[in-house]
């Protein structure tokens, strides 16, 4: 049965750049992928555009990215820079996880140089709790079948991040690269060479598992127990 993979980012670009390779791999395997941008990242406005124009452009580029993977894009209305871990934010995301019957969630690691990323990590973690808890009533929706949650490797969330699960994404790499070029950040950001960084990261992670391109994720300490029998 096809799975549904949801990647949650604080700003448009976060999920697509850090989780996109794994999303592309799943899309090619016939699974359903969803990107959720908790904000549109509209305050990174270039001088030539207004904040509202930039927001519109980011929303449509997130849509184009998801369409190229045959999936869906959801961009929430919270203003960029104003994310806060509130019960309303947690339940809004939990509701989406239930409605979409999500099997796996990819999201921000808890430490970050960006305040929105820290909030996004908390919001997502708590949303997973409310989405999964069968005894918690949420608009009559059945609990989401979430079995896997993993932290994405984001250059802004590097403090204490330890990659643990590696995925060979060599075949998905060309699709991801084409899709991610739809994002403003990828082609125009002067602050940080996003595409160059994430492409090189996939080569470096790939070398470690003896393939051309890989993507790596962290998981919670409690999920690292391995049952051994020697």
Return the closest-CA partner of residue 155 out of 31, 22, 17.
Answer: 17
**143 within 8 A of 189, measured Cβ to Cβ:** no
Least Cβ distance, residue 118 to Zn ion (angstroms)? 11
CB nearer to Zn ion: give 10 or 106. 10
Residue among 39 and 132 whose Cβ is closer to Zn ion: 39
Cα-based distances in Å from 148 to 70, 103, 112, 183, 223: 22, 7, 22, 27, 9
In the complex, residue closest to Zn ion by CB: 11
Query: Three-class SS of residue 129?
Result: helix
Count of beta carbons in the 10 Å neighbourhood of residue 163: 18
Q: Rounded to the nearest whole angstrom, what is the least distance from the CB of residue 112 to Zn ion in the complex?
A: 8
Q: How far apart are CA 178 and CA 21, in angstroms?
A: 11
Can you tell me which residue has the tokens 């395997």?
29
CB of 97 to Zn ion, least distance (A): 20
Point out which residues bind Zn ion (CB under 5 A).
10-11, 14
Report the nearest approach of Zn ion to the CB of residue 117 (Å): 6
How far apart are CB 226 and Zn ion at their closest, in Å? 33
**Rounded CA gap, 230 and 227, in Å?**
10
SS3 content of the chain, % helix, strand, coil (to 5): 45, 15, 45
14 or 125: whose CB is closer to Zn ion?
A: 14
């Amino acid at each position: 049965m096809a799975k549904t993979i949801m990647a949650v980012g604080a700003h448009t670009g976060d999920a697509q750049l850090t989780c996109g390779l794994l999303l592309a791999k799943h899309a090619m395997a016939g699974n359903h992928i969803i990107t959720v941008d908790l904000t549109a990242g509209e305050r990174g406005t270039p001088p030539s555009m207004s904040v509202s124009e930039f927001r519109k452009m980011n929303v449509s580029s997130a849509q184009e990215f998801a369409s190229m993977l045959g999936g869906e894009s959801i961009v929430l209305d919270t203003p960029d820079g104003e994310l806060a871990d509130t019960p309303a934010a947690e339940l809004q995301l939990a509701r989406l996880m239930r409605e979409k019957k999500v099997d796996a969630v990819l999201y921000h690691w808890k430490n970050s140089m960006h305040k929105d990323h820290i909030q996004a990590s908390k919001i997502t973690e708590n949303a997973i709790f409310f989405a999964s808890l069968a005894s918690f009533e949420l608009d009559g929706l059945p609990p989401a079948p979430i079995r896997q949650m993993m932290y994405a490797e984001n250059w802004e969330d590097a403090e204490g991040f330890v990659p643990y699960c590696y995925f060979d994404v060599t075949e998905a790499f060309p699709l991801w690269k084409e899709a991610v070029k739809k994002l403003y950040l990828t082609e125009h950001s002067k602050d940080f060479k996003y595409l160059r960084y994430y492409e090189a990261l996939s080569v470096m992670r790939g070398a470690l598992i003896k393939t051309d391109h890989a993507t790596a994720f962290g998981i919670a300490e409690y999920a690292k127990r391995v049952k051994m029998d020697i």
